[in-house]
Amino acid sequence: MATTTVKSAFWRGLRDGAPFVLVSGPFGLLFGVLAAEAGLIVPEALTFSLAVFAGSAQFTALQLMQENAPILIVLISALAVNLRVAMYSASLTPYLGAAPLWQRAIAAYFTVDQSYALSIVKFESEPEMSVPERMAYFFGTNGLVAPGWMVATIIGALIGAQVPESWGLDFVLPLAFLAMIGPMLRTPAHLAACFVAVVTALPAAALPYNLGLIVAGLAGMMAGAQAELWLERRLKENRA
């Protein structure tokens, strides 16, 4: 019976995650094209996606690599962009923390925006789920998205390798970032973080080695955190 419910949880996760292929697929395709444009061959582009599996961090690292930034700056910037995943992990710990270590290690690799968003809603709405069922559901949410991202990367790299250099696809990278950021601006705290990051990034662009990206990112995160704390205080005052 337990095995049946675990399998059922996996298939529910697979079903709930399926629509996200329509989003991750095009971005994976775009990453592959831009990776080829940057000089990566198909196995290198695929290895990039397999090793990182985080769209925003991959695009950030790729852009900095194109600009010949030092490796340390590339790594720090990619980590800074993906700091939100640490918050995702902390949020999921009460629900998945009792799972075996090897399962939690694999889950850490597959913790991305869509797997977190779907899972946290499911776990909060169905607290009766067992830990194996929760883990099965979590993995199910990536059952199509993760393979789809890898396949799209390969196809994009193959396509990109055939695109003449004269076409110049550099302009697509900032457009990709805008497309990823837009849907994330859901709350006043998100808007504050975005505004402060943009305002900081303009003068910080003069810093060497693209350090302006890190400075702007940190300023945005601090502004967003302060905005959220201020909003919580105002809410408590209104309730009182």
Tokens 């080695």, residue located: 209
* Mean of all residue pLDDT scores within the chain: 84
Which of 52-61, 127-136, 184-193 is the most confident on average? 127-136
Q: pLDDT tens for residues 80-90?
A: 778 778 878 88
Question: For the chain, which residues make up each domain, given as ranges?
Answer: 2-167, 185-240
Q: Which of these, 5, 132, 16, 111, lies nearest to 55 by C-alpha position?
A: 111
Which pLDDT score is estimated for 1?
41
Which of 53-67, 145-159, 216-230 is the most confident on average? 145-159
Q: Between 211-239 and 188-204, two packed helices, what is the crossing angle to 10 degrees? A: 150
Q: Which of these, 67, 123, 74, lies nearest to 99 by C-alpha position?
A: 123
Q: pLDDT tens for residues 94-117?
A: 999 999 999 999 999 999 888 988
Higher pLDDT, 153 or 225: 153
Q: pLDDT tens for residues 164-220?
A: 666 555 555 566 556 556 666 667 877 888 888 889 988 988 877 667 777 887 888
Contact 41, 165 (CB under 8 A): no
DSSP H helices, 18-112, are 21-37, 42-52, 55-66, 71-81, 84-96, 101-109
pLDDT band at 225 (very low <50, low <70, confident <90, very high): confident
Per cent of the chain over pLDDT 70 is 87
